[in-house]
Amino acid sequence: MIRSVVVMALCYVACPAMVAAEGVVAPQATAAAAARKVVKIHGAGGVRGLESYQSGMLVSPDGRIVTAMSTVLDSDEIDCVLDDGRRFRGTLVGVDPRREIALLTIPATDLPAFTLEATDRVVTGTRILALSNLFAVAAGDERVSVQRGVVAAVVPLAARRGAAEAPYTGDVYVLDCTTNNPGSPGGAVVDSRGRLVGMLGKELRSTAGGIWLNYALPVDEIARGCEAIMAGTAAEQPAGGPLESLDLRAIGIVLVPDLIDRTPPFVESVVADSIAAQAGLRADDLVIAVGGASVASRAAVQQSVGRIAPGDPVRLSVIRDGAVVECDVGPRPRVREKP
Amino acid sequence: MIPTRLFLRRGIPAWRRIVAALVVMAGSGATARAFDVDPVVLEAEQSRIEAIRRASTAAVSIFAGDAGGGSGVLLTPDGYAATNFHVVQPAGAAMTCGLADGRLYDAVLVGIDPTGDLALVKLLGRDDFPCAELTNSDLVEVGDFCFAAGNPFLLATDLKPSISAGIVSGVHRYQFPAGTILEYTDCLQVDAAINPGNSGGGLFDATGRLIGVNGRASFEKRGRVNVGAGYAISSNQVRNFLGCLRAGRICDHATLGATVATSAEGRVVVSDILESSDAWRRGLRYDDEIIALAGRPVRTVNAFKNVLGTLPAGWQVPLVYRRGGRRTEVLVRLAGIHAPAQLATIVAGGAAEEEPRPGADAARPELPVAIRSVYDARPGFANHHFNVVERDRVAAAMVAVRDATALGPWVLSGRLATGDEFRIELSDTAASIDLPTGTSTLTVDDALDRNPVPPGSGGMLAALVLWRQLVTAGPAAVGRTTYWGTAPRDPSALGDAAIVDFVDVLESATSGVEARFAVDGGRVVSIDLWTSPDAEPCEVRLVWDEGGEGNPSATPARLEVRRGGQEFGTFVIEPSAPRGKAL
């Protein structure tokens, strides 16, 4: 404890020296440059304490955006607002349910973007800037909020959201600034030179103490997650850990947001070229049965799907244009915890 | 930060070993010689210590007994200090303020701005208070170092302010009114901890200059403690309202009389407009695109609200709009958001719930003796005493530059811009003006609103009559004359990052007319006169020579008269004949 206080104190004092000695970019310039690569995302939610907004990071000049996997993305209309105020409809490319990251794409080119590389981890004591649209303070072309802090620890995440354990249990950067705010998930954490260090995670509490955690997913994990999403293997994690229950989004199905007690399980959208798309599922299908057992709500669908063991067939019965249609999605992919 | 300071000051040898070990642990590798502290580090630390020391001396801890308290920041050596409206509202007219020197001072409420959550109080008993230097908040950048000095959780029982440091997280933020009328427009967002009790305290830049007044924070589910997003009223907004607050008034914010929306093409267009508004009279219509307001570009609806939110009701500001590819620039007079009675009701009503304010409402005790002589409750005013103080200050300045001969009749003659001659005569009882189009006269005991001559001017002669009364008899003698506040000397210069010059404004209601006089250096520089509240005012601008040696400029060099956005006439006054003879 004392150690970390002194480390932080040292870092604050050392800040101007590093600027002078290494010719590091001034924080104002770093903030301005990084902010251009952060996206304000608006999607589903806005009721029952669920925010309808979060942040994202541009990771390629042609419009790929990494963000946190959350209910905000449970929508056909994911609005991505760039730093210059331009607004694009985002398309969900895929998700990595274990790391809880999602990859979106927008139809734009020549965008300022972070370099997504599996670089070395930064060390405890590294000074960082955190950029996100916390509390949705910024609208249109207004710049996202910038906070400063220090990487206070690099530790495995042990956290929960409500009663549910967070699926990711790998290392995270614990930050000494309050980044655990509505709108922050998906925001960027950069070092003093503006290099991407990590992504602000979802709002989680520590399993140990119940306190809200201020943390970021390291950039190498994001890079690996995105690779897996692009390769279509995000849902097939290496064997070894406990089994992860299946998330429909892992096979390409986005259901309507779960907003009321018994939300009818309509399919909001189907990710193009996903397993679900190949199985013939379409937007606006109403799921009435999973594996032949009837399901009456969106929550029930998720529950039933979650019980399907890896390798077992995933069969969905849907109503389309007044008729029942059977969709055989194929065997459930393996999803495992990181060993 | 504090541990480091202690270490450095004491120079404990063990500290060096700890640092060395930590540098290795931290793997910073920033310098090979971790044992020697880079002089740049020491200099940076020293300058920060100095900035915090300076700011701390100007920081005010406000205690209002059972009514809670908060923070403030001294702005002038004679004790005027800014704070939040939501801090003073439960406190009432009197409060006790502590400074870092360990002393307590009585303080009295001066003026309030309930919409902008600002208030001005005056600490009593000294004319050499340490004070903060207001600086231009438009130059603040995201990423700038900043710190707050204040009284969070009312911890400053030793009267020493708490300092919390951070960076500027956002600029020109717009914060919706949170269930109250308090609207935070164009504010600074910081990650320095702003907690309940910090309200009203100063936000300072790296050199200890004042960039804002802290007042609000995003709280939500973590309870009423800071979560990394605090908001400060910008120093430029404080600057804009300072004159109106010193007037002891309950100040109102401005409205254009029009609402705007974002068009499909992303432009900011007029979505609704009142036909009674000055903007309508100046030609603004539905669907016109707003380009700039008060010298600042408007590209989003929030930007429009931001600019407007920093302006007091009653100012005249430039507006640039576009219709069908044609760009038009006009000067518009901004109305108030609230009716005066409405504002007074709101002020008397409940406190704002969303603002960080510890403590609770309590029965207001009787005023302390020290306060009674500087507090005067009157409808429409937070403290009328200070209105008289400011009015007397302006009156004294006017007497100081008044020509000794000014008490006789005044004759102003010369030529119009057209080359035609004119002659104006003003005395205690009558006034006349000879123009090529004819002669108009006015008896001073007339109801001035019945005779707005010369025809088409909207009451130019009445305006000059009141000007003469103001100069010869003083503001107190001209009907009901109050100190209104300050306004920019040149509205078209607003928005330039450079310093804005302000002039004092007096307001009179007399003989059926209302008039506003701008006074600069003891001289009236403009008069706006309304013969009825809804009429277009007659606007007289008095242009004075520089006033060099042997040229006392007892008469203005020129009168520029306008009405309804149109020029009525420019009167170039011949300096020789009338001056010194008739005046």
Task: Parse chain A into domains and list their residue ranges.
Answer: 2-229, 248-331
* Whole-number pLDDT of residue B576: 54
Query: How far is B352 from chain A, CA to nearest CA, in Å?
Result: 20
Alpha-carbon span B219 to A201, nearest angstrom: 19
The answer to whether B86 and B199 have CB atoms below 8 angstroms apart is yes
Known catalytic residue: B384? no
> Which residues have C-beta within 8 Å of that of residue A173, sequence separation ≥ 6?
A122, A128, A151, A153, A154, A189, A197, A198, A215, A216, A218
Decide if A85 and B300 are in contact by the 8 Å CB cutoff: yes
Decide if A28 and B3 are in contact by the 8 Å CB cutoff: no
Sign of CA dihedral B343, B344, B345, B351: positive
Alpha-carbon span A155 to A53, nearest angstrom: 28
Start-to-end C-alpha separation, chain A: 30
* Across B189-195, average pLDDT: 93
Classify each residue of B422-451 as buried b or exposed e, where b means 16 or more C-beta atoms within 10 Å of its C-beta. Answer: bebbbeeeebebbbeeeebebebebebbeb
User: CA nearest B15 in A: which residue?
Assistant: A6
Question: What residue type is assigned to position B512 of the chain?
Answer: G
Task: Tell me the pTM.
Answer: 0.80
- Give span(s): CATH 2.50.20, chain B: 396-573
B27 contacts in chain A (CB < 8 Å): 123, 125
* Identified catalytic residue from B199, B235, B457, B508: B199
Alpha-carbon span B540 to B567, nearest angstrom: 10
Both tokens assigned to A140? 């249109």
Across B235-389, where does the E strand assignment appear? 254-255, 258-262, 268-273, 289-293, 296-297, 316-323, 326-333, 335-336
Alpha helices in B106-230 (DSSP H): none
Q: Where does the pLDDT of residue B177 fall: very low under 50, low under 70, confident under 90, or very high at 90 and above?
A: low
What is the number of residues in chain A?
339
* Across B331-354, average pLDDT: 74
* CATH T-level fold of B55-253+337-373: Thrombin, subunit H (2.40.10)
Find out whether the peptide bond into A238 is cis, omega within 30 degrees of 0: no
- Minimal Cβ distance to A146: which of B31, B142, B226: B142
Q: Domain spanning B396-573 has what CATH number?
A: 2.50.20
Known catalytic residue: B252? no
- Minimal Cβ distance to B41: which of A14, A27, A137: A14
Pick from B493, B479, B488: which is nearest to B518 by CA? B488
Q: Which of the two residues, B272 and A254, has the higher pLDDT score?
A: B272
The CATH architecture assigned to A248-331 reads Roll (2.30)
B113-117, B286-290, B555-559, range with greatest mean pLDDT:
B286-290
Decide if A35 and B142 are in contact by the 8 Å CB cutoff: yes
Pick from A120, A18, A39: which is nearest to A82 by CA? A39
Please state the three-class secondary structure of B306-318 as a single string. HHHHCCECCCEEE
The residues of chain A scoring below 50 in pLDDT are 1-22, 238-243, 336-339
Domains A2-229 and A248-331 share a fold: no
Q: Does the interface predicted TM-score (ipTM) exceed 0.95?
A: no
Decide if A18 and B173 are in contact by the 8 Å CB cutoff: no
Range in A65-74, A114-123, B191-200, B573-582 the model is least confident about: B573-582
Q: Domain spanning A2-229 has what CATH number?
A: 2.40.10.120
For residue A223, CA distances in Å to A191, B35, B385, B405 come to 17, 38, 67, 85
* Whole-number pLDDT of residue B260: 95
- Give span(s): CATH 2.30.42.10, chain B: 254-298+315-331
- Give span(s): CATH 2.40.10.120, chain B: 55-253+337-373
Q: Where does the pLDDT of residue B92 fall: very low under 50, low under 70, confident under 90, or very high at 90 and above?
A: confident
Range in B13-27, B31-45, B540-554 the model is least confident about: B13-27
Known catalytic residue: B403? no
Pick from A52, A30, A60, A40: which is nearest to A146 by CA? A30
Alpha-carbon span B524 to B521, nearest angstrom: 8
Question: What residue type is assigned to position A306 of the chain?
Answer: G
Q: From 2.40.30.10, 2.130.10.10, 1.10.3720.10, 2.30.42.10, which CATH number describes the B254-298+315-331 domain?
A: 2.30.42.10
Across A106-158, where does the E strand assignment appear? 127-132, 145-156
